[in-house]
């Protein structure tokens, strides 16, 4: 079997007609930009790495010359079913390239073969890897497929060699395939980590990461030639001070060198303080990572950071990034416009996971994916050294993630990176824990001795009172209070509670909006956009309002919760202290729902401590309450989880235990023991619309109809869920107004 191509086309690398030489040279062009962004200082190390990467790029797709692969690229071509990178690595063996290069090429798409008893999804199969003593018929057939296209490949190869200055490899006698010449120890996961020196494994992982990122970015560049990695900017060159009065604590952050812990009130300018800190702590080719605990707050911060440092430099990174970006893009009703926006959102989502954007706003999971060695961790070996990390709302992390994060920061410091932790109500025990593990960290907070700080510390934005019973047992007084003000925020601890309260308030106040986590993303995005432009008379919400939206209500009602959650809710009421009188916040002593999502002892302690305060309350009062509530630190259960994270062996023995060519299912490390995991499901009422969107090619719009459902409900909702459909369909009521109704 032979392939028929035009004389100028030769061997193809992509199904869009891009030839092997074109793609390879594009990868090399990308790699040169990546090298300019590397944070390393040793010239001899960089010289070796550059030369090895050039050779790896040159051969990484040479296996695609096989006729089966070429036929698969043709219109209606059949899937080949073999791995081109194995042939590419065999070609590298023929050229007598070093083991590091061959190993990087062999694993640039698939992981090493699984050990006995391990899941082999996404792994190379050991029987497909050729060795001199193990020449099987399948390998002979693949070599024959490759040899058929030898003359076409030769033309492409000579062009690659000429462009990359590899004249010594431009030899017809070398154009053949040999079984792999690398030590078999590389292929055996357990043996590799015990026999091959850590520094060599680290180096090959670094090389592999650069190869993968060069390849992926070049593939996006095939779609749009403008997709080239950004040169890392000097953060100091951006003016963050213009038109802004800088407070004393912000100046201290901007002058501090090394890691910092910042505790400052909500709305006082913590974000600006952190960005000023990043400007003064950026090192050679240092990137910036702004880390927040939830998607809504990340989307909001992305707007802020890209305004400060430029959209071209700033990437948005979380599990639903394509959906979020698609909703941010202005679009008319034309299908063409929607498809273009979808492509733009997907391209960003693809590139932000590569070494493309110098600044990224992301979840802690994206950082932990590196030290826990999740998929793609190798690219971060070239990104995290010298970088600045801003961990915002650190108090909102659960105990396990807090431990993993602090352990990660300790490792990052060994890579010359710096971190700043931000919080409005950082409990003393957490501050002490950070200082214990990161001894160099400086603690900064606003001071009464500084005039500009004193103004924010003296600001008393709230007066609190407690109401007996629950919110609905006080419905009459609630409605009276609503009619006396222009805007009211009501926060419930559970979605069903918020739905019930919404129904009761809506009967009397038409301009009432409901917001919680069980709306599909399309409907939730609509609601959040509306809130950012004009507040309703009443917003009934759950915890999703706590760290997501920059909104400012005149008064509030809330169910009881731990102090850190309450402070976040308070921060959405009289947020900027512009009301003439302190805003009223009423805290119900009881919640509507029987299930406690928070630990009752924390709620009781918080209520007791808040009850001791005199109105109006200050920010310092709230810090004192937080310290008193968490006086003993984590409880026994969370203390165990924190220590598990802090002492995680894969982080604490990062180089010693790493295995080149594999990744771990790091999600298990994060979610073990957690009951807040969700599964995206499709409400039955939206199933028809979903299928229509899929049929028209609007996959992102279709996925925006899915609703996150807590995994814990599966036990009692099995009869309502169709697991044979992809995605799962849930047969319960759903509406744009109320969301998914799981509980009656």
Q: For the sheet with 288-291, list strands across it.
A: 314-317, 359-362, 288-291, 388-391, 418-423, 260-263, 442-444
The pLDDT of residue 1 is 36
Distances (CA, A) of 545 to 483, 494, 604, 658: 22, 13, 22, 40
Closest CA to 681 of 639, 620, 742, 737: 742
Domain ranges in the chain with CATH number 1.10.3210: 20-223
Helix pair 600-611, 619-629: axis angle to 10 deg: 140
Task: Single out the residue of 101, 95, 98, 90 nearest to residue 66, CA to CA.
Answer: 90
Contact 547, 363 (CB under 8 A): no
Cα–Cα distance, 741 to 733 (Å, whole number): 6
Strand 678-683 relative to strand 707-710, pairing: antiparallel
DSSP 239: -
> CB of 541 within 8 A of CB of 515?
yes
Write down the pLDDT at residue 7.
Answer: 40
3-state secondary structure of 206: helix
Q: Do β-strands 538-541 and 512-515 pair in parallel, antiparallel, or remain unpaired?
A: parallel
Pair of tokens at residue 415: 């890579």
- Sorted by sequence, the CB contacts under 8 Å of residue 202 that are 6+ apart come out as 381, 655, 658
Q: Judge residue 182's burial from the number of C-beta atoms within 10 Å of its C-beta, 0-12 exposed, 13-18 middle, 19 or more buried.
A: buried
List, for the chain, all residue ranges whose pLDDT scores fall below the cut of 50. Answer: 1-8, 673
Distances (CA, A) of 359 to 38, 229, 390: 14, 12, 11
CATH fold for domain 20-223: Hypothetical protein af1432 (1.10.3210)
Query: Quick one: pLDDT at residue 3?
Result: 41
- pLDDT per position as a tens digit, 280-323: 999 999 999 999 988 878 888 999 999 999 999 999 998 888 88
- For the whole prediction, is pTM greater than 0.95? no
- Which distant-in-sequence residues (6+ apart) come within 8 Å of 710 by Cβ? 675, 676, 677, 678
Would you put residue 438 in left (φ > 0), alpha (ψ -120 to 50) or beta? beta
704: nearest Cα among 690, 723, 724, 688: 690
Superfamily of domain 235-453 in the CATH hierarchy: P-loop containing nucleotide triphosphate hydrolases (3.40.50.300)
CB of 691 closer than 8 Å to CB of 707:
no
Residue (of 385, 313, 110, 356) closest to 214 by Cα position? 356
Pairing of strands 418-423, 260-263: parallel
Which tokens go with 625?
């309450």
Separation between Cα atoms, residue 180 and residue 567, nearest integer Å: 61
Dihedral sign (CA 490, 491, 497, 498): positive
Listed in order, the ranges of the chain carrying CATH 3.40.50.300 are: 235-453, 460-617
User: What DSSP character marks residue 115?
Assistant: P
CB 554 within 8 A of CB 487: yes
Residue 522: its pLDDT value, please?
Answer: 93
Using alpha carbons, select from 429, 410, 426, 430 the residue that is nearest to residue 418: 410
Q: Which CATH class is domain 460-617?
A: alpha beta
């Amino acid at each position: 079997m032979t392939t028929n191509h035009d004389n100028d086309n030769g061997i193809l690398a992509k199904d869009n007609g891009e030839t092997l030489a074109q793609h390879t040279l594009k990868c090399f062009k990308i790699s040169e930009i990546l090298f300019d962004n590397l944070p390393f200082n040793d010239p001899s190390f960089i010289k070796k790495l550059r030369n090895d990467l050039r050779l790896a790029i040159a051969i990484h797709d040479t296996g695609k010359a096989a006729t089966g692969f070429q036929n698969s690229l043709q219109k209606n071509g059949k899937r080949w079913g073999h791995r081109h990178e194995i042939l590419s690595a065999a070609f590298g063996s023929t050229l007598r390239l070093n083991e590091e290069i061959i190993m990087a090429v062999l694993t640039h798409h698939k992981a090493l073969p699984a050990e006995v008893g391990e899941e082999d999804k996404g792994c190379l199969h050991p029987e497909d890897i050729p060795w001199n003593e193990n020449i099987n018929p399948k390998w002979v057939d693949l070599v024959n497929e490759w040899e058929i296209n030898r003359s076409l490949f030769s033309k492409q190869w000579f062009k690659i060699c000429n462009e990359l200055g590899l004249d010594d490899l431009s030899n017809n006698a070398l154009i053949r395939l040999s079984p792999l010449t690398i030590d078999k120890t590389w292929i055996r996961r357990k043996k590799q980590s015990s026999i091959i020196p850590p520094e060599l494994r680290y180096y090959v992982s670094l090389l592999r990461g650069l190869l993968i990122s060069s390849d992926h970015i070049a593939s996006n560049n095939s779609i749009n030639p403008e997709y080239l990695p950004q040169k890392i900017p000097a953060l100091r060159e951006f003016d963050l001070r213009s038109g802004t009065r800088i407070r004393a604590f912000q100046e201290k952050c901007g002058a501090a060198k090394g890691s910092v812990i910042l505790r400052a009130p909500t709305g006082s300018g913590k974000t600006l303080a952190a960005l000023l800190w990043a400007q003064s702590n950026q090192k050679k080719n240092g990137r910036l990572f702004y880390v927040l605990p939830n998607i809504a707050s990340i989307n909001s911060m992305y707007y802020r950071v890209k305004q400060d440092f430029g959209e071209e430099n700033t990437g948005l990174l979380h599990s639903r990034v394509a959906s979020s970006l698609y909703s941010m893009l202005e679009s008319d009703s034309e299908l063409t416009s929607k498809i273009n926006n979808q492509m733009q959102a997907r391209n960003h989502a693809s590139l932000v996971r590569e070494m493309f954007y110098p600044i990224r706003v992301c979840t802690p999971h994206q950082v932990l994916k590196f030290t826990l060695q999740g998929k793609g961790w190798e690219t971060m070996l070239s990104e995290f050294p010298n970088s600045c990390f801003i961990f915002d709302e650190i108090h909102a992390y659960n105990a396990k993630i807090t431990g993993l994060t602090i352990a990660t920061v300790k490792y990052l410091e060994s890579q010359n990176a710096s971190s700043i932790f931000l919080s409005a109500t950082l409990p003393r025990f957490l501050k002490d824990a950070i200082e214990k593990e990161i001894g160099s960290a400086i603690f900064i907070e606003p001071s009464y001795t500084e005039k500009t700080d004193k103004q924010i510390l003296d600001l008393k934005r709230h007066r609190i009172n407690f109401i007996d019973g629950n919110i609905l047992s006080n419905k009459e007084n609630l409605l009276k209070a609503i009619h006396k003000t222009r805007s009211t925020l009501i926060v419930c601890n559970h979605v069903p509670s918020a739905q019930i309260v919404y129904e009761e308030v809506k009967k009397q106040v038409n301009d009432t909006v409901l917001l919680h986590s069980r709306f599909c993303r399309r409907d939730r995005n609509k609601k959040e956009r509306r809130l950012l432009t004009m507040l309703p008379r009443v917003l009934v919400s759950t915890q999703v309002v706590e760290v997501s939206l920059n909104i400012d209500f005149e008064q509030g009602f809330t169910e009881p919760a731990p102090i850190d959650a309450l402070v976040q809710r308070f921060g959405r009421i009289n947020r900027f202290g512009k009301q003439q009188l302190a805003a009223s916040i009423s805290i119900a002593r009881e919640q509507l729902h029987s299930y406690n999502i928070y630990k009752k002892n924390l709620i009781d302690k918080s209520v007791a401590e808040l009850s001791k305060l005199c109105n109006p309350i200050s920010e310092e009062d709230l810090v004192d309450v937080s310290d008193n509530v968490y006086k003993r630190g984590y409880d026994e259960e969370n203390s165990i989880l924190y220590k598990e994270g802090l002492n995680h062996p894969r982080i604490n023995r990062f180089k010693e235990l790493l295995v080149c060519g594999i990744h771990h299912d790091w999600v298990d490390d994060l979610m073990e023991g957690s009951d807040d995991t969700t599964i995206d499901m499709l409400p039955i009422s939206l199933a028809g619309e979903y299928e229509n969107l899929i049929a028209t090619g609007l996959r992102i719009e279709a996925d925006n109809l899915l609703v996150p459902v807590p995994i814990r409900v599966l036990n009692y909702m099995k009869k309502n869920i169709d697991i044979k459909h992809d995605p799962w369909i849930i047969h319960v009521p759903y509406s744009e107004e109320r969301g998914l109704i799981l509980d009656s």
